[in-house]
Chain A
Amino acid sequence: MNDLALTPKAPDVRLGDIIKLAVLAVGGQGGGVLSNWIVDLAERNGYAVQATSVAGVAQRTGATIYYVEMMPETGRTPVFALAPAEGDVDILIAAEMMEAGRAMMRGFVTPDRTTLIASSHRALATSEKIHPGSGIADSAAVRRAAAESARNFICFDMEAVAREAGSVISSSLFGALAGSGMLPFEPESYRETIRASGRGVDASIAAFDEARIAAEEHRAPKAREVDDAPEPGGVLPPAATPVEEHVEPEPMAGPEKMLGEWRDLSARADALPEPVLPFARAGLKKVVDYQDLAYGTEYLDRLDELLRQDRAAGGEEHDFDFTANAAKYLANAMSYDDIPRVADLKTRKGRDARISEEMRASDGTLVQVTEYFHPRAEEMVSLLPAGLGGWIESKPKLFAGIDKLVNKGRRLRTDRLPAFLMLYTVAGFRRIRRRSLRHKREMAHVDEWLGAATSRLPRDYAHATETLKVRRLIKGYSDTHARGVAKFDRVMSGAALVEGRDDAAAWTARLLTAALKDPKGEALDGALQTVRSMTTAGQA
């Protein structure tokens, strides 16, 4: 220090008295209500307070920010800032998990001072939803960053707390703020604030107290919320509505005789190697539910054959990864989505009870259910016996005539008899499904696919397994289904091109990922282009 003459100044100690609080919310979440409550709470406790917001167009479902500063009343008006500054926020309330991430990215959460109060639930952004595969952001990454960036981190599903109390998230966020102990005010004065605001007071206070206690206890989020990014087949962070969890293996129901046969079949599945088991059990259940016991036997027969080949290719070393994947995707392939399947699911016992529950229909209300169907000739004709169906398809005029007849949107009231009976009858086609044109085609497709996979098994175990996974691309109905099949074919052709290379499996996986990137398959086109140039270059 060369300026010995100078007395270095320190910031006004009272600056520490200013509490700086920011709320990051999604438009429509009630961030305005929350910030009004905080202002009222501060004034109630003899604090000078200032709140600002940038509402505007972001209120329409966009990310919004509210900012509050307060300090004990001194008799003179303090000068407060109008916006949060990086590294200068004491309490940050994020009304959604990714908004917590956004707050950190903006530098509003720092280890020296910030208490981060975040609801762990997700309100998905459009970009996450339109992805053909799974585009859901990684909550765990935000959580890890928060654990490092925040001085205190309070995080649980405040949306669920509010919902269970019949309130909205502003109440539980207010409760978590109280429970954090970061504001020097008594819980009762929070409650008074809620009472003074008028509407839905009891529910709001219930949500407030539940969240306050949760925050005081530093209640940790449920284990499944802490998992890493949702891997394919993994779990999502909690949705805004409870996702039913079936922890117990779900039982099968039916006549006693069939249940006996089912037990035998299950026992047969149980003999499969350990890594295959969870998939085979679920798969067996799926195909039997889809069709019948005989179909289940067919499934297991196929699995046994695949396992034999797997074993021959040294599958044991690979934990039978090939058969495990086959058990998964074969079950999906065998329970393809046709009209009888949809009709069956829409007319099953128990569906109306589920709908009433989901709609929270109170006693005495009627629930009228309308289905939106739009069948085309393709789906109808494919139900017919293979010979007849094929014949009709070969007569374009006849086919067009049928299409004219059936191809239109149909609204079916399945709580009423006529529509129900119609769907019930169509569901009955299940019994003749295995003779249908569609079934013949699907099985041919399965054979071809499994054939391609098994042929790769002796030479390249990983590539064979990746080939099985390409099946993931087949989903949807009508045009979406056709696009899925087209993508499947293209990825399979790419997989054939790379066959024999050391990195064949990696490339096939890459092609699959590309195919899931966008609906039209532009990324896949690019990836295929690379594969083609690579393989031809290899030949040259």
Chain B
Amino acid sequence: MAERSFKKEVEQLRIGAGETFRGEGILAITKALLENGVGYVGGYQGAPISHLMDVLADAEELMGELGIRFEANASEAAAAAMLAASVHYPIRGAVTFKSTVGTNVASDALANLASGGVTGGALIIVGEDYGEGSSIMQERSHAFAMKSQIWLLDPRPNLPSITDAVKHGFDLSEASNTPVMLQVRIRCCHVHGAFEAKDNVAPSLTVKDALSNPRRDTDRIVLPPASFKHEHEKIEKRWPAALDYIRTHKLNERFGPEKEKVGIVLQGGMYNGVIRALQRLGLADVHGDTDIPLYVLNVVYPLVEDEFIDFCADKDAVLIVEEGQPDYIEQTLRSILHKQGHPVKVSGKDVLPMAGEYTGQVMLEGIESFLVKHGGDLLPDRGRAPNRPPEVPDLSEVVPGRPPGFCTGCPERPIFAAMKMVEEEMGPHQITADIGCHLFSIMPPFEIGGTTMGYGLGPASNAAFDGGGERRPISIMGDGGFWHNGLSTSVGNAVFNKSDGVIMVVDNYYSAATGGQDILSSRAKNDTKATNNPISNALKGVGVGWVRQIDRTYDVGKMRDTLREALTTDHEGPKVIVASSECMLNRQRREKPLMAKAIKEGRRVERPKFGVDEEVCTGDHACMRLSGCPSLTLKMPDDPLRDDPIAHIDQTCVGCGNCGEVADTAVLCPSFYQADLVHNPGKTEQRMARWQKGIITWLQERRAGKRLAREAVR
């Protein structure tokens, strides 16, 4: 069960020709896949294309009707490998993952796929996780396209353009026997827009049909001598075929006047940013009609030499707008001009920055300085439309950073609280982290974990330390990473090499960071997937001799003791702790409606929540340093004699228990109390409560009558 359900939106995927589709970019891509006769789809979740996987999963029924196979792949490598179905069969396939991390993982399969080439259209939809909101290293997918010779589409970020790119992607792939990568940036994935729909088309050959008539062609398999032929084929056949298609179908677009002394060459994805800058400079109108000629590269690899030369004709200078580095496009275009001895002047990374996102201001300044240099007379009088931003107030000392962190009630919080306690006790350890929500441990208040090397690679990245020493190395890995890659690469290998390390597998029942998709060990019942395969079984299966399964991570004492045991036991080989509790975000989403329903129906429901006795809390914030929960916050006490704010639990508390457990295990303070609200209590229960409350009240009154005390109790 994913974090967000697209069941409602998916209904829109059924609309046909003559109707208008409205929605997010990724939903539009799904619709375009259906319109273009795709035969199978797959991928691996990760921002910004997580929702694409969720949409596909929710659209499984519709796809089934059309005979389309959907597979939730184990990893990006598995997704890319699935495209093998398009090698021998004329079946269109599409897979999706986040890039560049996903493309890194997939690159082995992608290289093999690209070498042998494809018969059916093969489309790789990569969510380019670059710039603001990105959670990964800042690199470009472009390099992968170049190294394996995969065509790279970078369409203008609007729904008609990206759905068009899907269509042409398949056609181009088939015309040139080459897989095609369709790159969509973060905001493009989430852009809300509309396009004219077409009818859905069932694949002419389904994967099921193909199974009845298996095909093979030795020439398409990557092994000598075919592999040598492939390289030549790429250059002699596929490349020219691709150029032909791009030219004929005008995949790259020209806007603005034919004749002008300057022009701009841009990646399709940069189009809106360039137009906005031109609008602000008075050189384009609201509809994008521009006074500066634009050559929009909806295909950024390969580049069409003659189109570019044609664009440069009679121009004094062109600006290349290419986000990210290295500046592959600029290098190539400069090389083309150089070889021809072309006189046009080229600007690019001289007026625009080499590194970093091309934000509105960057684009404005870059284009303006290009025009000042090469087309000064085109620039309107800026004095009449000043858009220099004024001084920005310096609040850097005031405004605190707000990096992402564990959600309210997150089951991973107590794991790291326990780990921090063990470190207080035994000293700091060498700790590696992995990919996933648990990586938030590197931030305050926990500050645990020194590196993150890749999905499922947490334990593997401690290999150098696995020989043992005074203190054991610890590595952390999530359940997502475990199934993605970690079982073999990290755990299996630790067993094989008799690693002395401790591995903490954080099992929250989902691929939680990417939006709560089910995985092998998920405990939910899933109609189309086989879940409920325990991680601990897999561990034992690969030969881990020391496995401890903890089924309630909120038991901080047990977490701490188990970790301590793992760090001190004489056992030879890796020590693996599986810490399991359901992702609170998903749990709440699942339980809340059920609970509300039960309360409404008069059934007995217990709902826990935590509170703080204000006067017991001394405001030392020791609990905060073992929590960081959004609902555990501060307030100023009513007592004018106190200097520091005290702990306070707000209404968003879900009663996970971490506060109480931590206060107890770390021997912090008795300020926390847990209040269980019992809805629709039973008769006996009520009687017992009334009776006890009667005596308690009597005792309280008795004492109150014999002493002086303030009236309010805080």
Number of A-B contacts (CB under 8 A): 468
- Name which residue of chain B comes closest to A237, CB basis: B636
Interface presence of A56 (CB below 8 A) = yes
A292 to B703 alpha-carbon distance, docked (Å): 13
Interface membership of B341, Cβ < 8 A: no
Most chain-A CB neighbours within 10 Å: which of B638, B681, B709? B709
Q: How far is the CA of A249 from the CA of B313 in the complex (A)?
A: 85
In chain A, residues 224-251, which have Cβ atoms closer than 8 Å to a Cβ of chain B?
230, 232-236, 239-241, 243-246, 250-251
Interface centre among A81, A293, A427, A480 (most CB of B within 10 A): A81
CB of A354 within 8 Å of the partner chain:
yes
The interface-forming segment of A136-144, A186-194, A206-214, A441-449 is A136-144
B393/A105 in contact, CB under 8 A: yes
The distance in angstroms between the C-alpha atoms of A346 and B696, with both chains bound, is 12
Please state if B47 and A55 are interface contacts (CB–CB under 8 Å).
yes
Q: B674-714 interface mask toward A, CB cutoff 8 Å, 1 = contact, 0 = none?
A: 11111111000110010011011101110111111111111
B93 interface residue, CB < 8 Å from A? no
Give bound CA distance, A233 to B443, whole Å.
29
Of A10-18, A304-312, A382-390, A391-399, the segment with at least 4 beta carbons within 8 Å of chain B is A10-18
B131 CB to closest chain A CB, in angstroms?
Answer: 8
The smallest C-beta distance from B321 to any residue of chain A, in angstroms, reads 14
Cα separation A8 to B401 with both chains bound (whole Å): 44
Which residues of B are found within 8 Å of A480, using beta-carbon distances? 620, 622, 668-669
Q: Which residues of B contact A342 (CB under 8 A)?
A: 616, 670
Are A49 and B192 closer than 8 Å at their CB atoms?
yes
Cross-chain contact B636 with A235 (CB below 8 angstroms): yes
Chain A interface residue number, banded: 35 or more
Inter-subunit contact B622/A85 (CB<8 Å):
no
Which residues on B sit within 8 Å (CB–CB) of A239? 633-635, 648, 650
**CB neighbours of B398 from chain A (8 A):** 98, 101, 137-138, 141-142
Q: Are B404 and A61 in contact (CB under 8 A)?
A: yes
Contact between chains at A366 and B395 (CB < 8 Å)? no
Contact B711 A243, beta carbon cutoff 8 Å: no
Contact size range, B: 35 or more
Is there an interface contact between A125 and B620, defined as CB atoms closer than 8 Å?
no
Instruction: Name the distance in Å between B71's Cβ and chain A's nearest Cβ.
Output: 24
Q: Find residues 324-381 in chain A having any chain B CB closer than 8 Å to their own CB.
A: 328-329, 331-332, 337, 342, 345-352, 354-355, 358-361, 364-374, 376
Q: Give which listed residue, B135, B273, B385, B665, contacts A57 with CB less than 8 A.
A: B135
Please judge, given known A-B contacts A53-B190, A417-B696, A478-B667, whether A368 and B676 are in contact too, CB under 8 Å.
yes
Contact indicator B361/A85 (Cβ below 8 Å): yes
> From residue B363, how far is it (CB to closest CB) to chain A in Å?
8
Bound complex: CA A206 to CA B190 (Å):
30
Contact A101 B399 (CB under 8 A): yes
The distance in angstroms between the C-alpha atoms of A77 and B681, with both chains bound, is 60
Complex CA distance for A125 and B652, rounded to whole angstroms:
15
- Contact between B713 and A350 (Cβ–Cβ < 8 Å)? yes
A131→B513 CA distance, assembly (Å): 28
How many angstroms from the CA of A246 to the CA of B636 in the assembled complex?
13
Say if the beta carbon of B405 comes within 8 Å of chain A.
Answer: yes
Contacts of A479 in B (CB 8 A): 666-667
Instruction: Give CA–CA (A328, B641) in the complex, Å.
Output: 5
The reply to whether B403 and A62 contact each other, CB–CB distance below 8 Å, is yes
Assuming the contacts A79-B275, A127-B400, A233-B643, asked whether A477 and B670 have C-beta atoms less than 8 A apart, the reply is: yes
**Which chain B residues border A87 with CB–CB below 8 Å?**
361, 387-390
Flag whether A28 is at the interface (Cβ < 8 A). yes
Check: A315 CB closer than 8 A to any chain B CB. Answer: no
Decide if A374 touches B664 in the complex (CB within 8 Å): yes
Q: How far is the CA of A415 from the CA of B697 in the complex (A)?
A: 11
Provide the A408-437 mask, 1 if CB < 8 A to any CB of B, else 0: 010100111100110010010000000000
Contact of B384 among A10, A50, A106 (CB under 8 A): A10
**Chain B residue at minimal CB-CB distance from A330:** B641
Distance, CA A67 to CA B387, complexed state (A): 20
Interface residue ranges of B267-307 to A (CB < 8 Å) = 271-273, 275-276, 279-288, 291
Contacts A250-B710, A372-B663 given: A123-B630 contact, CB under 8 Å? Answer: yes
Q: Can you list 9 A-B pairs with a CB-CB distance of less than 8 A?
A: A9-B291, A17-B286, A59-B404, A60-B407, A76-B287, A82-B273, A239-B650, A243-B638, A370-B676
Additional A-B contacts beyond A62-B402, A80-B272 (7; CB < 8 A): A56-B135, A57-B47, A79-B275, A107-B389, A130-B625, A370-B675, A409-B665
